[in-house]
Structure 1
Amino acid sequence: MLLTLAWGSLFFPGLFALCTWGLRRARPAWSDSDCVMISTRLVSSVQAVLATGSGIVIIRSCSDVITDRHWLAREYVWFLIPYMIYDSYAMYLCEWYRTRDQNHRHSLTTFRNFLSKNRLMVAHHAVILFVLVPVAQRLRGDLGDFFVGCIFMAELSTPFVSLGRVLIQLKQQHTLLYKVNGILTLTTFLSCRILLFPFMYWSYGQQQGLSPLRVPFSIPFYCNVANAFLIAPQIYWFSLLCKKATRLFDTAPAKKDG
């Protein structure tokens, strides 16, 4: 546990520093804000790939969705804790660099602006650290590694979301890459962050000989409540992505007609 925490504490901030340094040397015309923001997205994408890979390994190794075990189900959570702490600071750092022209010092105003603009994401990180981590590492006992692997799979959409943000930062919204990436973002987000939950219910039902509609009434009530809390922000974020996609593909025909 301690070794994994130490590796995570070195890996994510170190990768961020390396990416920032490399971008500043490779793209001297880019602002500090661009380099920091893109480095943050690169680190998020790397973490997402690691989490998704861990999820695939866990799911494939657990034939029994309740009792089968895999060491990654616990060990990767310890690796994830430093990432969540680092990512919270990295988001604040992006906000500080963005407003640095008006305010050269770290201030309470900058921090308040950061919390105001990112309150849902900050709450998301806090829930993971203070609720999901204790559940995953202690409260669930030795059961449910399969479902932990499923939750890791939710990160599959992150690289596409990150690429979209980078393209916006570089003012590349007009490109074909941005539109194709938007479709992939919607597809992976829907599949791995929303349909993931019916899949977990279906997987449990297949093993227990239950129809998916009977599963919610056959598991502890708190499991349904926890899943509802987890899926609610995903549906909200997916609705925002759909609105952005609608605006993107609506403006393209409008420009062509004009």
Structure 2
Amino acid sequence: MSSLVLVAAGSVFFPGLFLWLKRSLRLMLGWSEGEAAVMSTRLVSSLQAVMASSAGCVIVSSCSDVMDDRHWLTEVYILFASPYFAYDIYAMFVCHRHKLQVKGHEEETAAAAVGGARSTGAAVMSYLRSEFLMVLHHVFMVAFCFPTSLLWRQGKGDYFQGVLFLAELSTPSVCFSKVLIQYKKQQTLLHKVNGVIMLFTFFSCRVLLFPFLYYTYSRYASIPLSSVPLVAPWQCNLGAALLWPLQLYWFSLICRGAVRMFSRRLNSSSETRLKDQRD
């Protein structure tokens, strides 16, 4: 299968699935355009994560030599999934516009609802201010990571590419958390269990990702871990330097959210005990 066919297939599959899910949710459940768009975005992101993680598991388990072993699925999935990040930039914008309308931001909501070039520009600027880091991450993935993975590797390091796919393991729990928050289910046991899973998978698959890659190469090359950045290709170092701080920042936000939820629960329990003692 040619490269163009795989890219074209991904370009049709992800936006097509989004549109089909959105239409199905509106017709079957009677949801609004915005609600259906938000849920469809979460579902497509989760499906892509499952596909990427599955590909990563297959590739990693098939490569005993981390540098020289090959697996056909590596380049196939890179080509197929590359349009997803471009599609997701648009899907996130649709979700952001819906959130503006629901929250009732006066100027931004009015700008997004009026229509025309001026209102669209205002909505886009609001979106970029709110989701700048995520948009930057997606643009970097499309503009740098995918071309780099296809061109400079020259058939080397399929194992490392498979490990990178495994970073998506955390995405379904992140999406599910956002869905539960959207429907005001933050106090449920399901949200707490999902939060634990989200913390564990995000830390394991994203925060530890780049240290693990450098550690694995240090063992393969029999060199100290501190020497790996000196011998690794500049593309690897640049990717790690730009992507790892983003993962650390997002993980800190997840931890802050968990601390806030735990603190609210403690305060609520304390207030209940004080009230019982007074009564």
Instruction: State the TM-score, normalized to the length of structure 1.
Output: 0.93
State the distance in 2 between where 1:229 and 1:99 align: 30
Question: Does 2:96 match 1:105?
Answer: no
Q: Paired residues, what number?
A: 257
**2:11 partner letter:** S
Amino acid at match of 2:150: Q
The 2-side partners of 1:158 and 1:89 are apart by 18
Following the alignment from structure 1 to structure 2, what is the Cα–Cα distance between the partners of residues 204 and 14? 39
What is the rounded CA distance, in whole Å, between the counterparts of 1:225 and 1:95 in structure 2? Answer: 30
Identity of aligned pairs, percent? 43
Distance in 2 of aligned mates of 1:88 and 1:137: 22
State yes or no: 1:3 paired with 2:5.
yes
Conservation of the 8 A alpha-carbon contact between 1:48 and 1:156? yes
| Residue 243 (structure 1) aligned to one of 256, 271, 275 | 256
Match in the other structure for 2:162? 149
Q: Distance in 2 between matches of 1:220 and 1:2?
A: 27
Q: Give the TM-score, by structure 2 length.
A: 0.86
Instruction: Determine the structure 1 residue equivalent to 2:21.
Output: 19
Counterpart-to-counterpart distance in 2, 1:249 and 1:27? 34
Aligned to 1:122: 135
Q: Normalized per residue, which structure has more helix?
A: 2
Kept in 1, the 8 Å contact 2:10–2:84? The answer is: yes
Q: How much has 1:221 moved relative to structure 2?
A: 5.5
Stretch of structure 1 that moved more, 175-184 or 203-212: 203-212
Q: Tell me the residue number matched to 2:275.
A: none
Distance 2:152 2:232 in 1: 16
Shift of residue 130, structure 1, vs aligned partner: 0.7
Instruction: Identify if the C-alpha distance between structure 1 residues 221 and 36 changes in structure 2 by more than 3 Å, giving closer, same or farther.
Output: closer
CA distance in 2, matches of 1:135, 1:148: 11
Preserved CA contact (<8 Å) 1:201 1:215: yes
Distance 1:97 1:250 in 2: 30
For residues 120 and 20 of structure 1, the distance between their equivalents in structure 2, rounded to whole angstroms, comes to 26
The code of the aligned residue for 1:93 comes to V
The farther-off stretch of 212-221 and 163-172 is: 212-221
**Map of 1:183 onto structure 2:** 196
Determine the structure 1 residue equivalent to 2:152: 139
C-alpha contact 1:49 1:155 (8 A) present in aligned 2 = yes
Deviations 1:167-186 (A, max 9, x none): 11111111111111111111
Contact kept, 8 Å, 2:170 with 2:202, in 1: the verdict is yes
SS in 1 for 2:76: helix
What CA deviation, in whole Å up to 9, does each residue of 1:134-171 have, x standing for no partner?
11011222211111111111000000000001111111
1:66–1:162 Cα change, 3 Å: same
- Aligned-residue offset at 1:66: 1.1
CA contact 2:59–2:159 (8 Å) conserved in 1: yes
* Separation of aligned partners in 2, 1:12 and 1:241: 27
Unpaired segments ≥5 residues, structure 2: 102-108, 272-279
RMSD, matched Cα? 1.7
| Matching residue of 2:86 | 85
- The answer to whether the 8 Å contact 2:137/2:243 transfers is no
- Of 179, 200, 203, 2:213 maps to 200
Counterpart for residue 106 of structure 2: none
2:172 is the counterpart of 1:171: no
> CA–CA distance in 1 between the matches of 2:214 and 2:65?
14
Distance 1:20 1:78 in 2: 25
Residues 14-72 of structure 1: CA distance to partner in whole angstroms, max 9, x if unpaired? Answer: 211222122223332x4322211111000000000000111111111111111111122
Task: Extract structure 1 runs of 4+ deviating beyond 4 A.
Answer: none
Q: Which residue of 1 aligns with 2:60?
A: 59
Task: Report how far residue 220 of structure 1 moved.
Answer: 4.3
